[in-house]
């Protein structure tokens, strides 16, 4: 019965130029409608369904069932909590609902470490959908989500351009865009931005990343592994090639997702803003995978600081912020997966934020260093190379080099 699904062609989101031809033809009627001030919701839902189906058919068909089950599960939880929140606001109910919303991703992330294989619940994009669902629960608790029903929530969760790898939108922001059709002038402005974004995405994804990801990185890796388990200068090459691959691959994808969202009349937030030009690690996280780092900042870092201040857990404000940084980044490390290199990556970035905070305070108090082109260059150089070092840890190559386990790229 399922053979026909397995035999269907599988299209990875933004994976080939052919995908774009199909996608742009499919969304053309949406663009015409928006130009004339109409949003064809049912047509958009149909197109989204078809393209999501094409992402999860073929050999990925089991992921399709996981995706459907997951969205139904989250919809029941979130809508149930929304109705409850209109009348009551018990903290234990909020924590229980948040835990239930996070439970699938906890199972998926812990399964490889606990049982030695991936969970059947997993599918491409589960992390990003979890952020959307949990964020909606938190916004509901805060009383800022005023209007929510099952159809609006599913439309938000299954918004096709961003379903597999973000950017991570917020329900309140998304629904505002969706409720009002942009004026003709506004829509033409969005199209005017989308076209160069598509071009930049193509150059990043299909040209620059081809060299970083498929030519230079494998070459460096092969040379470095010849010296395993010892370090060599080739490992430095691996670090820089992986940093380039990760950035151009992910930024290219994000440009595509934002551009297609714009063509569909939704202003999905940007995900990257020249992160490798950052002068310190805090600035890096304000420029790198911005929707993820802002999600963690707003829903973990700020909430922890607020709660700890209210309950007077720490006498010293600097100690509080240091603990909050470590908690925030270690959580992000665990979110990527329960392996030593993801957790170490989170720890290193948490520690870097703590050190950066301490250094800024020390510099203000004791050192009168003027900001010059040279000091900015040194700060940028140190930050960039620290980030590259942590990406070497993150990519799992050292796991392969030292322990011979399959790496995660």
- Which residues are the active-site residues? 336
| CB-count exposure of residue 372 (10 Å: 0-12, 13-18, 19+) | exposed
Chain centroid offset of residue 161 CA: 13
Could you give the 3-state DSSP secondary structure of residue 39? coil
Phi, psi of 388 (to 5 degrees): -60, -40
What burial letters (b/e) apply to 175-189, b meaning 16+ CB within 10 Å? bebbeebbeeeebee
- Contact by Cβ (8 Å): 162, 259: no
Tokens of 365: 């108090």
- Contact by Cβ (8 Å): 310, 320: no
d(CA 162, CA 140): 22
Closest CA to 279 of 180, 215, 397, 372: 372
The Cβ of residue 196 has, within 10 Å, a number of other Cβ atoms equal to 11
164 secondary structure, DSSP code: T
Tokens of 38: 């109409």
């Amino acid at each position: 019965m399922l053979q026909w699904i397995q035999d269907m062609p599988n299209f990875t989101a933004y994976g080939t130029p052919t995908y774009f031809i199909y996608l742009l033809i499919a969304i053309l009627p949406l663009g015409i409608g928006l130009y004339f001030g109409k949003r064809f919701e049912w047509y958009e839902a149909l197109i989204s369904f078809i393209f999501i189906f094409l992402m999860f058919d073929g050999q990925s068909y089991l992921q399709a069932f996981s995706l459907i089950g997951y969205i139904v599960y989250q919809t029941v939880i979130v809508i149930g909590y929304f109705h409850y929140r209109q009348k009551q606001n018990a903290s234990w109910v909020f924590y229980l609902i948040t835990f239930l919303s996070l439970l699938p991703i906890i199972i998926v992330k812990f399964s490889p470490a606990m049982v030695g294989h991936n969970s059947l619940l997993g599918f491409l994009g589960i992390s990003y959908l979890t952020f959307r669902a949990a964020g909606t629960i938190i916004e509901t608790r805060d009383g800022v989500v005023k209007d929510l029903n099952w159809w609006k929530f599913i439309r938000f969760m299954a918004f096709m351009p961003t379903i597999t790898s973000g950017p991570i939108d917020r329900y309140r922001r998304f629904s505002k865009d969706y409720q009002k059709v942009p004026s003709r002038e506004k829509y033409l402005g969005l199209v005017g931005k989308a076209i160069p974004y598509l071009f930049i995405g193509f150059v990043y994804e299909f040209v620059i990343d081809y060299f970083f990801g498929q030519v230079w990185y494998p070459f460096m890796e092969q040379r470095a592994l010849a010296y395993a388990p010892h370090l060599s200068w080739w490992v430095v090459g691996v670090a820089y090639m992986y940093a380039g691959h990760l950035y151009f691959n992910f930024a290219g994808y994000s440009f595509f997702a934002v551009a297609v969202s714009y063509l569909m009349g939704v202003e999905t937030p940007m995900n990257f803003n020249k992160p490798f030009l950052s002068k310190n690690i805090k600035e890096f996280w304000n420029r790198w995978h911005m929707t993820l780092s802002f999600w963690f900042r707003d829903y973990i870092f700020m909430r922890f600081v607020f709660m700890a201040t209210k309950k007077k857990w720490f006498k010293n404000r600097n100690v509080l912020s240091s603990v909050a940084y470590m908690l925030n980044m270690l959580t992000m490390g665990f979110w990527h997966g329960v392996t030593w290199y993801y957790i170490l990556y989170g720890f290193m970035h948490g520690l870097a934020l703590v050190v950066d905070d301490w250094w800024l305070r020390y510099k203000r108090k004791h050192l009168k260093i003027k900001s010059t082109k040279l000091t900015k260059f040194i700060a940028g150089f140190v930050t960039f190379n620290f980030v590259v070092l942590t990406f070497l840890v993150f990519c799992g190559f050292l796991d392969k080099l030292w322990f011979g386990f399959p790496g995660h790229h």
